[in-house]
């Protein structure tokens, strides 16, 4: 016959099971979310800095490499050109943001007929 465990051993086993379940269902997913967000924010900072520096270099190139085209009264035009480029990038980025939540994707051509 199997030896029956005492009540204190059973309670201790249940407590250990509860603690391990709580860790599995709360702490581990939170660690994964923090790692996901850290890489996302880091990537966002690097890409934003890169785009800003490219825009700044485009502005500098328009000011110095075009000769006298943007001299005198026309000196404000390079700023408008770079602002329009940035505005176009922002508009394109906003148009690519989907309305679905996390984990949703638009249906591909092979999935459109299925339900």
Residue 108 lies in a domain: no
Question: Would you give per-residue pLDDT tens digits along the chain (115 residues)?
Answer: 446 678 999 999 999 999 999 888 888 888 889 888 999 999 999 999 999 999 999 999 999 999 899 989 999 999 999 999 999 999 999 998 877 655 666 666 666 655 5
Residue 1 lies in a domain: no
Residue 30 lies in a domain: yes
Tokens of 69: 């085209």
How many domains would you assign to the chain? 1
Domain range holding 42? 8-95
Residue 101 lies in a domain: no
Do 78 and 59 touch, CB atoms closer than 8 A? yes
Tokens of 78: 């390079």
Residue 27 lies in a domain: yes
Residue 107 lies in a domain: no
């Amino acid at each position: 016959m199997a030896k029956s465990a005492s009540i204190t051993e059973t309670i201790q086993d249940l407590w250990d099971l509860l603690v391990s379940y709580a860790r599995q269902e709360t702490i581990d997913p939170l660690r994964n979310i923090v790692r996901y967000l850290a890489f996302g924010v880091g990537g966002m900072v690097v890409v934003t800095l890169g785009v800003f520096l490219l825009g700044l270099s485009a502005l500098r190139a328009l000011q110095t490499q075009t000769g006298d085209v943007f001299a005198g009264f026309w000196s404000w035009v390079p700023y408008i050109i770079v602002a329009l480029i940035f505005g176009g990038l922002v508009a394109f980025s906003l148009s690519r943001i989907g309305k679905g939540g996390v984990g949703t994707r638009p249906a591909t051509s092979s999935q459109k007929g299925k339900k």
